[in-house]
Amino acid sequence: MSETKTDAPKKLFIKTYGCQMNVYDSERMAESLDGYVQTDRAEDADMILLNTCHIREKAAEKVYSELGRLKPLKELKPDLKIGVTGCVAQAEGAEIMRRQPAVDLVVGPQSYHRLPQMEAQVRAGKPALDTDFPEEDKFAHLKGRSTARRAPAAFLTVQEGCDKFCAFCVVPYTRGAEVSRPAERVVREAQDLVERGVREVTLLGQNVNAYHGGMTLAQLIRALAKVDGLERIRYTTSHPNDMDDDLIAAHADTDKLMPYLHLPVQSGSDRMLKRMNRSHTAESYLRLIERIRDVRPDIMMSGDFIVGFPEETEADFQATLDLVEEVNYGYAYSFKYSTRPGTPAAERAQVDAGEADERLQRLQALITRQQRAIQESMVGRDLSVLVEKAGREAGQMLGKSEYLHAVHIDDARAQVGDVVPVRITRAMTNSLTAVEM
């Protein structure tokens, strides 16, 4: 290929790690950088951004390995600029540039609206670093979203940060204090997404059900339900203590709100929950789910678990297994505790790593069994699917059920963006197969 002409758009490669909020942030960063088009090949890029995750040690270390792999590209192409964004950028700041001098730019999740100025600065040959928590709202300063067509399911950040300070978690330090976006801006962004082909939005927040942007999350969901053309609404991630009565009621009275709820509990042991600073008990969590299931019996529950938290005994772990048995999760994500510098739990007596691995395997085996049984119970049932793209096999389309299962529709008539009734014919490990009704 010949060298890019100076007036041709430059190419931007973004690699996104971690949570859905990073996916959303990556889109906003790409849109904010005028004069760039996105590429999915790092080798072609004039600018590479790694949008990083700091939640566990492994996630953070991956960033340094990737930077090591990218370094030779920069030797081949001296004009290439490399940036680190997201939560590792926030947590490690200038240390990243010290550890990997190939990095030109470091910007945290609360200041990436300054990316265009920073890009100009690095183009002028000066490294750029910004890990502020500025007073101004980054969303008010970010460039308006473009008019390009979008995939039918989109993320929409409505709340950021966390004031809960669970003893293991870096989020309150990397994302900062809880901040909600004003409801009218969220509704406007949803309308804009719908005009560009979106049919489903997932409202994002580290503590999304603590939303308070002039209204509660339940009120926001009801306002969004009035947006013509928006067919489905989801929200994630929620804290049990912020699940108020009105939000529970919304699961019964708002048809567009999907019957799926990600509600992390972390442990089934009250002793561990207390040590984790969770401010709820296993019993209060179970009663909460009971109340939600009273109004929406078919709701698909999802959760997060940490095993091997400092001082966790076999009896504590058993309490987690018991809780998982009782809830019967459609989805559950389990992690081995990872020591995060600066968090309270980092100072405590750590569980033997082999023991923690073994517990993780036992928990994951139970979760897998539960998920499989739920998947299989879907066979013969009639569900509704939002079609997202063509499937792997000829004539097949791929989409998501209301319960968030991936569904392959055989011999599909439906097009991308349609919501269609289907009958489930087969359950596979990670997806279902269906025919249109």
Binding site for ligand 5AD (CB under 6 A): 55-56, 168-169, 264, 266, 304, 306, 335, 337-338, 340
Choice between 168 and 317, CB closer to ligand 5AD? 168
Least distance from ligand 5AD to the Cβ atom of residue 304, Å? 3
Q: First vs last Cα of the chain: how many Å apart?
A: 49
Residue 162 interaction partner, one of ligand SF4, ligand 5AD, none, beta carbon < 5-8 Å per kind: ligand SF4
> Per-residue b/e over 330-344, b at no fewer than 16 CB within 10 Å?
bbbebbbbbebeebb
Choice between 67 and 306, CB closer to ligand 5AD? 306
Choice between 266 and 320, CB closer to ligand 5AD? 266
Q: 389 with 370: CB under 8 angstroms? A: no
Choice between 199 and 239, CB closer to ligand SF4? 239
Residue 206 interaction partner, one of ligand SF4, ligand 5AD, none, beta carbon < 5-8 Å per kind: ligand SF4
Least distance from ligand 5AD to the Cβ atom of residue 171, Å? 7
Least distance from ligand 5AD to the Cβ atom of residue 340, Å? 5
- By the criterion CB under 6 A, which residues form the site for ligand SF4? 162, 164-166, 169, 171-172, 206-207, 239
CB-count exposure of residue 413 (10 Å: 0-12, 13-18, 19+): exposed
For residue 272, what are its two tokens? Answer: 């561990």
Least distance from ligand 5AD to the Cβ atom of residue 250, Å? 23
Q: 67 with 84: CB under 8 angstroms? A: yes
Least distance from ligand SF4 to the Cβ atom of residue 162, Å? 3
Least distance from ligand 5AD to the Cβ atom of residue 237, Å? 7
Strands 419-427 and 382-390, how do they pair?
A: antiparallel
Please provide the DSSP assignment of 292-347 as one string: HHHH-TTPEEEEEEEES-TT--HHHHHHHHHHHHHH--SEEEEEE----TTSGGGG
Choice between 11 and 239, CB closer to ligand 5AD? 239
Minimal CA–CA distance to 278: which of 166, 112, 144?
166
Choice between 305 and 317, CB closer to ligand SF4? 305
The Cα-based distances of 143 to 76, 108, 172 in angstroms read 32, 18, 26
The Cα-based distances of 229 to 196, 256, 352, 404 in angstroms read 11, 11, 53, 20
Q: 54 with 173: CB under 8 angstroms? A: no
Residue 172 interaction partner, one of ligand 5AD, ligand SF4, none, beta carbon < 5-8 Å per kind: ligand SF4
Q: 109 with 23: CB under 8 angstroms? A: no
Choice between 13 and 173, CB closer to ligand SF4? 173
Least distance from ligand 5AD to the Cβ atom of residue 335, Å? 4
Residue 239 interaction partner, one of ligand SF4, ligand 5AD, none, beta carbon < 5-8 Å per kind: ligand SF4
Choice between 167 and 183, CB closer to ligand 5AD? 167
Compute the residue count for the chain: 437
Least distance from ligand 5AD to the Cβ atom of residue 252, Å? 26
Residue 337 interaction partner, one of ligand 5AD, ligand SF4, none, beta carbon < 5-8 Å per kind: ligand 5AD
